[in-house]
Amino acid sequence: MKRREIYSDLRCIPPVIVRIDGRNFKNALSRMGFEKPYDEKFTSAIVEAIESFFKKSGLSPVFAYTFSDEISFFFRDNAFDGRIEKIDSVIPSYISSAFSLELDPEEPVSFDSRIIPVHEEDVREYLIWRQDEAWRNCINSYAYYTLISEGMEEHEAAKMLKNKVASDMHELLFERGVNISKVPAWQRRGIIVMKKETEIEGFNPHLNVKTTSTRSKVFTDYEIPIFSSGEGEAFLEKLLAQKADG
């Protein structure tokens, strides 16, 4: 029977990005009563799940980028010897279980998973692409739920927004008192979770000397820059200079 496990030798070569996405979260999050378009409790639970992954999964992503119900992890090391089945099952299942324990153990959730092989120099382009999607998603969902809150039917709101460009939606929202450029940065640009090395000052009583050691701490950044800007370029340069494990 073992020889029938025909996919178990499929492997990828690092570096890779693993992107997971909540399955059917539109309905699942509605059922759980989360606020629309953005709910802080939902986003906190996603961030807690990612932080737990960094601390306890035994895997060492360089960073994670998240918005809405998706998370991208960047790996430089050869997690699970590159075995596709392992990567695509263990990572989403860890996040599903951490997320459910954090939020509502009565509501099981699942995430799909895909692996994107990249070169180090592709990471910026990848992140710019996902952040553009975060922004599109932000402006779209604010416009959609603002129309719904005015009493418009779902299909009418969807029809009204179809084929509208970002500047039209900006205008539509502004007329209704929502300044989209002033909503929290994490909603417009997404969130980065990473390990950060910090210097710890100590004291060695035997030698009677001050000591310094480095520890890595998981750090979540809710105020990230626009990746395609100059500030964003400097931010990513620093982010990618981080070691995978420390």
Ligand X SMILES: Nc1nc2c(ncn2[C@@H]2O[C@H](COP(=O)(O)OP(=O)(O)OP(=O)(O)O)[C@@H](O)[C@H]2O)c(=O)[nH]1
179 phi and psi angles, rounded to 5 deg? -95, 100
Pick 26 or 159: Cβ nearer Mg ion:
26
Q: Which residue from 39, 77, 102, 233 is in contact with ligand X, where contact means CB under 6 A?
A: 39
133 is a site residue for Mg ion (CB under 5 A): no
Q: Does 42 bind ligand X (CB under 6 A)?
A: yes
Which of residues 15, 45, 52, 69 is near ligand X by CB under 6 A? 69
Least Å from the CB of residue 22 to ligand X: 5
In Å, how far from its chain's centre is CA 122? 18
Q: Does 111 bind ligand X (CB under 6 A)?
A: no
Contact between 65 and ligand X per CB under 6 A? no
36 closest CA partner among 144, 112, 194, 197: 144
Q: Judge contact between 216 and 197, C-beta under 8 A.
A: yes
Rg (CA), the chain: 21
Using the rule CB under 6 A, is 21 a contact of ligand X? yes
- How is residue 137 written in tokens? 């998603």
Size of the site for ligand X (CB under 6 A): 15
Q: Among residues 26, 56, 176, 196, which is the contact residue for ligand X, using CB under 6 A?
A: 26
List the single partner that 34 binds among Mg ion, ligand X, none, CB under 5 to 8 Å by kind: ligand X
Bridge partner residues of 218 (DSSP)? 195
Beta strands of 90-178 (E only): which ranges? 111-117
- Number of alpha helices (DSSP H) and beta strands (DSSP E) in the chain: 8, 6
| Alpha-carbon 235 to chain mean position | 17
Is the Cβ of residue 109 or residue 239 nearer to ligand X in the bound state?
109
Piece of the chain touching ligand X by CB under 6 A; list 12-20, 27-35, 219-227, 228-236: 27-35
Among 16, 20, 25, 123, which residue sits at the site for Mg ion (rule: CB under 5 A)?
25
Question: Token pair for residue 196?
Answer: 């950060």
- Min CB(27)–Mg ion separation in Å: 10
Judged by CB under 6 A, does residue 24 bind ligand X?
A: yes
Q: By CB under 6 A, tell whether 133 contacts ligand X.
A: no
Residues 6+ apart with CB under 8 A from 173: 139, 142, 143, 146, 179, 180
213 SS3 class = strand
Residue ranges in contact with ligand X by CB under 6 A: 21-26, 29, 34-36, 38-39, 42, 68-69
